[in-house]
Amino acid sequence: MCHAAELDPPRSGQAAFGYLAARWPLGLFGLLVLLTSLIALLYSSMLVWAWFVTDLTHPGTVALSGLGGLFLLFLCAQGGRGLAQLDEQLARRHLGPSETELLRRRVGELAETRAGVMQAVHDERRRIERDLHDGVQQRLVALGLLLGRARRAADPAKADALLRQAHEESAHALTELRETAWRIYPAALDERGLAAALEGLAERSVLPVEVAYELDGAPPPLPVQTVAYFVAAEAVTNALKHSGATRAAIRVARRGDGVVVRVEDDGTGGAPRQPTAGGLLGLSRRVAALDGRLGVDSPAGGPTVITAELPCA
């Protein structure tokens, strides 16, 4: 593996010399703009001077000189602005990071987000296994025991009662299986889009949830919709489990070329700004995989606001 010095050798001395060599003409032009500005200011002051003098020999000449000075002062301001922008470009070119360094940083970012996504997928698989083990699997074991007792029952009435109980247990197992499948990936997200998936989330939540979907026009790409949904779902789950909230609000809106998901609850707050474990850490990794940003604002006493900025480009 190449070291950073081999990829992007030190450029500070050479780069600074190149910057100074390219900048000295700008200095001359800047001096010229400054001197011209002083002259323009002098001519412009004629208008002020003429305001206090009542007897002017050549009022037209004074007015023309003053207006010309104002126009020249405007041109000098535009010229100074252009020189400042050109100076910034030269500084970025000679003193900023090289293309190799920018590429190296980008590769590092992609490697970090890739590792984060893999860890998030691993954590999600463990959560799914735990949900199946603690929920559906227990229901199915109970169902098997009930059916076995019904087969061995000598009394037809007792066998019929056990079968009815087994039927109810199978209905509960099916309900839990559907809920687990929804938590893994809601079918509505593919079939009807993010708005329908969020409405389904609000309907299934024990916590009252208000949804404001403010995206007009073409829907965001499916990966963006998926991450936006799971940000909202995890935020609502945390509000219910950890903050003692009585309500939550989900707002999805556009910001520039991206999508912003904002979830607020009225709980007690106290969530860390930088997630280090749990569902919020997995969310931050999902968001980072899309070059997005996840923000957590949760002061002690509440409210908690979780914001995800997801680029669509």
Q: What is the CATH number of the domain that holds 203?
A: 3.30.565.10
Query: 149 and 75 in one domain?
Result: no
Query: 246 and 195 in one domain?
Result: yes
Query: 74 and 125 in one domain?
Result: no
Q: What percent of the chain has pLDDT over 90?
A: 8
| Total residue count of the chain as it appears in this document | 313
> Has residue 19 got a pLDDT over 80?
no
Query: 167 and 191 in one domain?
Result: no
Flag the least confident range among 105-109, 201-205, 220-224: 105-109
Flag the least confident range among 170-174, 244-248, 293-297: 170-174
Region 230-235: what's the mean pLDDT? 88
Q: Tokens 């992007």 appear where?
A: 8
Query: 195 and 285 in one domain?
Result: yes
Range of the domain at 59: 11-96
Distance CA 303, CA 170 (A): 40
CB 43 within 8 A of CB 69: yes
Domain count along the chain: 3
Query: 257 and 172 in one domain?
Result: no
Query: 236 and 169 in one domain?
Result: no
Of 135, 168, 184, the one marking the end of a domain is 184
The answer to whether residue 139 is domain-embedded is yes
The answer to whether residue 45 is domain-embedded is yes
Residue range 34-89, pLDDT digits in tens: 888 888 787 777 766 666 655 556 666 666 777 777 788 888 888 888 888 888 88
Query: 195 and 130 in one domain?
Result: no
Query: 209 and 242 in one domain?
Result: yes
Region 26-30: what's the mean pLDDT? 80
Of 41, 62, 96, the one marking the end of a domain is 96
The answer to whether residue 115 is domain-embedded is no
Query: 92 and 125 in one domain?
Result: no
Give CA separation, 46 vs 34, 36, 38, 71, 75, in Å: 19, 16, 13, 13, 18
Distance CA 228, CA 287 (A): 9
Helix (H, G, I), strand (E, B) or coil at 260: strand
Structure tokens at 248: 């939550």
The answer to whether residue 273 is domain-embedded is yes
What average pLDDT does the structure give for the chain?
A: 77
The answer to whether residue 106 is domain-embedded is no
Nearest partner of 232 among 274, 287, 276, 270, judged by Cα? 287
Q: Residue 252: what pLDDT?
A: 93
Task: Identify which has the larger pLDDT, 5 or 189.
Answer: 189
Flag the least confident range among 55-64, 72-81, 91-100, 277-286: 55-64
Q: Is 270 left (phi over 0), alpha (psi -120 to 50) or beta?
A: left
> Has residue 102 got a pLDDT over 80?
no
Query: 300 and 206 in one domain?
Result: yes
Bond into 59 cis (ω within 30): no
Structure tokens at 251: 């707002």
Structure tokens at 111: 């490697």
Residue 108's contacts (CB-CB under 8 Å, 6 or more residues apart) are none
The answer to whether residue 198 is domain-embedded is yes
Q: Residue 262: what pLDDT?
A: 93
The answer to whether residue 176 is domain-embedded is yes
Query: 202 and 288 in one domain?
Result: yes
Distance CA 190, CA 187 (A): 6
Q: Tokens 């037209």 appear where?
A: 60
Q: Residue 9: what pLDDT?
A: 44
Distance CA 159, CA 40 (A): 105
Region 293-306: what's the mean pLDDT? 85
> Has residue 197 got a pLDDT over 70?
yes
Task: Identify which has the larger pLDDT, 286 or 54.
Answer: 286
Of 35, 62, 96, the one marking the end of a domain is 96
Distance CA 122, CA 245 (A): 29
Starting at the edge strand found earlier in the chain, the sheet holding 248-255 runs 209-213, 248-255, 258-265, 304-311, 293-297
> Has residue 15 got a pLDDT over 70?
no
Residue 150's contacts (CB-CB under 8 Å, 6 or more residues apart) are 159, 162, 163, 166
Region 194-203: what's the mean pLDDT? 89
Flag the least confident range among 55-59, 89-93, 212-216, 286-290: 55-59
The answer to whether residue 43 is domain-embedded is yes
